[in-house]
Structure 1
């Protein structure tokens, strides 16, 4: 979609908002679904680890139960059952490699840590390199611990019973800890992979949303283009018969010497005034229609904005004198080279100056200044009229917008002057800004890029 006019910009912004909203909603749904699936996957892995620890703890309990002494104390019987254990207070010997290959996997120091505690929580035996014992809970339960370097362990504690005596009294505690390194690595992989897939999907969703938004906006754009074409066709068809009608009225209009009745002459004069006003309106519509068609654009050349503005001010000198308005310039440049169409830039300055003239009271002044700011020239036209309310400043460049309809009609305004100025500014990659307060006048500033010097 090519941005050419304010209406095209509004359609572009509508398409952008529609595509952005669709992307936001679809992205949020996709991210939420991916996050939920990742959490379910990790929770299922954690549940499998918990079941594994429970099964392993039950197996170890059944293996240790027959060999436990009457009192909870360090004993070599524990090492006989689990060769990988180290008795508390004794040197820890490395198990035979043959035994290590066939020993139960619970003694694997990289994945599991075992601890045998008495009822007070004192350590009786543990696997090599086991961290400090986790305080046993009153009943069997789960505890999550983290070492100083970040490794996490999931610990499961159960009561140990011995078969001596009646009622199988509690002998101590068995703690088995499982490293969560594998789970954490898998979580990181799921996180990075999920975000990578999400970003790729987001790009695809963004492209699809932009395409679908274009399909949704296409009927509006087509309707707007038909309206533009209709306005141009109607204005063009009305121009010739209206010109002929005005010529006939001027030819048939009696002079004051020929007609004795004054009301008759005034009626003819009103017909001419309204006809010329309608002729100006049709001319403005045709200009606006031509500005909105890039194919009808004049070739861009290097123009002197200072010279164009000076010529317009000279043409307005008589009108300003009749309206008792002074044209002054407090800041001026002798030359301001810009790239554009001279006739269009002249029309832009004329419309801005005409707007200032319409709203300047008798005895007022219009200040026209031209400055160089970086890579731009700034043309400012300041009047001391009634000013523009803040809520109206965003609408003054719309078609047929009049702050004071009765005043504009009396002065022949069509309500298209600022819309034409804005369209010309857009074609020249320029911008018009308005600064005004009610009762303090208005300042219209045109910022237009300076022409690049030849290399």
Structure 2
């Protein structure tokens, strides 16, 4: 099935697919981000519990054997083998047995610091300690020393078992590098975004397919409506032509009578019949314009020449309406690719609309210029103008901002709809700039024809 309005329906399908893609992508991204954060948070919680357990084990092991005074001493070194006393040169443990004498068996993963109750350092693990938490920071804390990544620290009180009430002997801090957790987070970030991009590509294809399925009934209904309009117009054209022929014959017969006058009712019937005939012709033209134009039907046309011919033909019409036609900035040649008869009808409709809405004594300005790779035709009138809320609606079918005047002038309300349909068939668009009470300016922007195509057409 060929769409009767491929450009508009393609854009509608694209918007529907894009909207569903954005919604599904946002939900997928939010779900993935939440799952990733929950996973990393669970791993961080496991590390915190690990440090908490290790700190509790060390506390229970050290409490009965801690020396009475919390100061660096040989007795403390005997209790905590493998740690370096404050103020002394830190040497590695002489053998494997001493290196594993305390629960913090992996100095590359864990760092210990023992402080007195005032926060002064007593002993620490070998190597550079990146974490310098204050003793008041009990429990879990995070720090990011410059150039050392993130570290997690768990701090508890050390109690002395001698004396009453187990007084506070000092503080124990156990730190662990979170480099492995951060590396896992980075891997998860890249992996998650890679999977997300692949999923977005798959969802884009699925959204486009689903949008096509969703719009299929609408396209079929639109096609049937257009076909119905065309069929009705075809069916009405023949009996209407016969009816007008009979009315014209009756009018001629009445004119041949002795008084030489036809009945006024015949004139009204003939006028309304011709108006209906024009409406049918416009409907058939609109139905044909809704079908895409084949490239083989297009040829190089001079829009400047077409517009000049239309202005010349409209000279008498403008004079009868007491409106003058004037040229604004004008270029001698404006080559575009299209169907000459359709472009001529487009200019006719724009000019007819401007003359119809211009007061007596006003001027209609017609301009033609090139801007980049576009040809712009402007038709400016000095009429009553168009309210801003009606700028888009005036291109709809059977739209009349002043119904009484349109009927008086014989308009069908399809002129601007036909003009916009022709513009879209030629890859262009018609826009309007208007202020209520200060006139309107209709601007046609159509692509400039390719010079290589000119040569092919001339050949």
Give TM-score, length-normalised by structure 1.
0.91
Matches within 5 A, 1:408-447: 408-447=406-445
Q: Is contact 2:99–2:105 with CA below 8 Å preserved after alignment?
A: no
Moved more, 239-248 or 107-116: 107-116
| Residue of structure 2 equivalent to 1:38 | 36
Moved more, 150-159 or 42-51: 150-159
- The DSSP-based 3-state class of the residue aligned with 2:104 is helix
- The DSSP-based 3-state class of the residue aligned with 2:395 is coil
| Residue of structure 1 equivalent to 2:229 | 231
Q: CA deviation at 1:204?
A: 2.2
Q: CA deviation at 1:26?
A: 2.3
Structure 2 residues without counterparts, runs of 5 or longer: none
Q: CA deviation at 1:104?
A: 4.7
The separation in 1 between residues aligned to 2:64 and 2:258, in whole angstroms, is 138
Q: Is contact 1:160–1:174 with CA below 8 Å preserved after alignment?
A: yes
Moved more, 324-333 or 345-354: 324-333
Q: Is contact 1:327–1:365 with CA below 8 Å preserved after alignment?
A: yes
The separation in 2 between residues aligned to 1:296 and 1:235, in whole angstroms, is 24
| Residue of structure 1 equivalent to 2:196 | 198
| Residue of structure 1 equivalent to 2:117 | 119
- Residue 145 of structure 1, aligned match among 133, 143, 146: 143
Q: Is contact 1:84–1:107 with CA below 8 Å preserved after alignment?
A: no
Moved more, 228-237 or 359-368: 359-368
Q: Is contact 2:325–2:366 with CA below 8 Å preserved after alignment?
A: yes
Q: CA deviation at 1:9?
A: 5.1
| Residue of structure 1 equivalent to 2:399 | 401
| Residue of structure 2 equivalent to 1:171 | 169
Matches within 5 A, 1:282-297: 282-294=280-292
| Residue of structure 2 equivalent to 1:448 | 446
Q: CA deviation at 1:116?
A: 1.4
- The DSSP-based 3-state class of the residue aligned with 1:67 is coil
Q: Does 1:25 align with 2:23?
A: yes
The separation in 2 between residues aligned to 1:348 and 1:240, in whole angstroms, is 27
- The DSSP-based 3-state class of the residue aligned with 1:137 is coil
Q: Does 1:130 align with 2:129?
A: yes
| Residue of structure 2 equivalent to 1:389 | 387
The separation in 1 between residues aligned to 2:363 and 2:293, in whole angstroms, is 40
| Residue of structure 2 equivalent to 1:363 | 361
| Residues 364/182 of structure 1: CA separation in 2 closer, same or farther (3 Å cut) | same
- The DSSP-based 3-state class of the residue aligned with 1:149 is coil
Give per-residue Cα distances to partners, 1:65-109, cap 9 Å, x unaligned. Answer: 343212222123443444320011111112235347755561533
CA RMSD of aligned residues (A): 2.5
Give per-residue Cα distances to partners, 1:135-182, cap 9 Å, x unaligned. Answer: 2238x5222222122522222222223443444333222221122112
Matches within 5 A, 1:80-99: 80-96=78-94, 98-99=96-97
Moved more, 97-106 or 146-155: 97-106
Q: Is contact 1:115–1:133 with CA below 8 Å preserved after alignment?
A: no
| Residue of structure 2 equivalent to 1:311 | 309
| Residue of structure 1 equivalent to 2:254 | 255
- Corresponding residue pairs, total: 451
Give per-residue Cα distances to partners, 1:226-280, cap 9 Å, x unaligned. Answer: 1011111111111112111111111122334517596x61100111001100000
Q: CA deviation at 1:321?
A: 2.0
The separation in 2 between residues aligned to 1:367 and 1:162, in whole angstroms, is 101
The separation in 2 between residues aligned to 1:2 and 1:294, in whole angstroms, is 9
The separation in 1 between residues aligned to 2:199 and 2:258, in whole angstroms, is 83
Give per-residue Cα distances to partners, 1:42-67, cap 9 Å, x unaligned. Answer: 22212211221122122222332343
Moved more, 99-108 or 61-70: 99-108
| Residues 32/330 of structure 1: CA separation in 2 closer, same or farther (3 Å cut) | closer
The separation in 1 between residues aligned to 2:330 and 2:382, in whole angstroms, is 20
The separation in 2 between residues aligned to 1:368 and 1:36, in whole angstroms, is 61
- The DSSP-based 3-state class of the residue aligned with 2:325 is strand
- Residue 189 of structure 1, aligned match among 187, 190, 211: 187
